[in-house]
Amino acid sequence: MTKYVSKPIDELGFVAWSSEEDQIWHDLVVRQLDLVKARACKEYLRGLDLLDLPLDRVPQLPEINRVLQRETGWQVEPVPALIDFDRFFALLADRKFPVATFLRSREEFDYLQEPDFFHEIFGHCAMLTNPKFAEFTRIYGKLGSEADAKQRVYLARLYWFTVEFGLLEQNGQTKIYGGGILSSPGETLYALDDERPLRQSFDLDTVLRTPYRIDIMQPTYFVLDDIDQLYQLRSDDLTEYVNRAMNAGLLPPLFEPKDKTHA
């Protein structure tokens, strides 16, 4: 259960952020900007420029929506701290990205397991200004809406290893596009600079069969040749890949078991 509660939205779509939350936002963004400038992919950095996020205050949803709607027809949708898979997939299929309107506390400044406003806006919205990435995300939502419970478990891995923790090659260098990395200072450094994780070429069959845990640095990252490779997945028969992965079963995990893992 979450200890955070999303803040209410007024009739204009605005949140009454506090001065303390404005300062937390400032500190989070300034710290992360220094890390991502040399490590994020060009599509993400271009999206950050388009969003032009304020530093002195938490941005408002209508500000984000103006940019997303203009660039790709997307918008952000305020949600409670936790939503079920039915709503999550339905929102993505409708070009709406769910955003919980709470910001982490100072006590959990460095890390929290729940996706907060900083994670969703700073980590994810810049990539949603890219038409190819945005279309992949829409198709993913549509597929998830039509999938059964078992298929969704496998689909979750595709989202995890792309939208959340994806890497790609760009001009001979490995860059980050996954929002889970780009909103985490520790993982931004770990994903590219550390020798411990495996960095594998993206293979859809392998991705769908790879277990993950949400509470550790990732032992494996999958690297796209470029963002076009992700875009091309929209035209593949992803359901067939999912069913094939279900029949093959999971690969051995590269981490110690814990109670809260994804099957």
The span from the CA of 40 to the CA of 122, in Å, is 12
Cβ atoms 53, 122 nearer than 8 A: yes
Where would I find the H helices in 171-260? Answer: 179-182, 185-193, 204-209, 227-232, 238-248
The span from the CA of 200 to the CA of 230, in Å, is 15
The span from the CA of 79 to the CA of 57, in Å, is 21
Question: 50-57, long-range: CB within 8 Å, 24+ apart, which pairs?
Answer: 50/126, 50/129, 51/125, 51/126, 51/129, 53/29, 53/121, 53/122, 55/26, 55/29, 55/30, 56/22, 56/26, 57/17, 57/22, 57/25, 57/26
Beta 198-201 vs 96-100: how paired, if at all?
unpaired
Three-class DSSP labels, 47-65? HHHHHCCCCCCCCCHHHHH
Q: Is 262 a catalytic residue?
A: no
The answer to whether 262 is annotated as binding is no
Sign of CA dihedral 10, 11, 14, 19: negative
Tokens of 243: 């069913």
The answer to whether 164 is annotated as binding is yes
Q: Is 18 a catalytic residue?
A: no
Residue carrying the six token digits 């893992």: 261
Which residue among 124, 145, 184, 187 is the active-site one?
124
Which residue among 6, 21, 119, 184 is the active-site one?
119
The span from the CA of 212 to the CA of 156, in Å, is 10
Q: Is 6 a catalytic residue?
A: no
The answer to whether 146 is annotated as binding is no
Q: Which residues are catalytic?
A: 119, 124, 164, 183
Binding-site residue ranges for Fe cation: 119, 124, 164
Binding-site residue ranges: 119, 124, 164
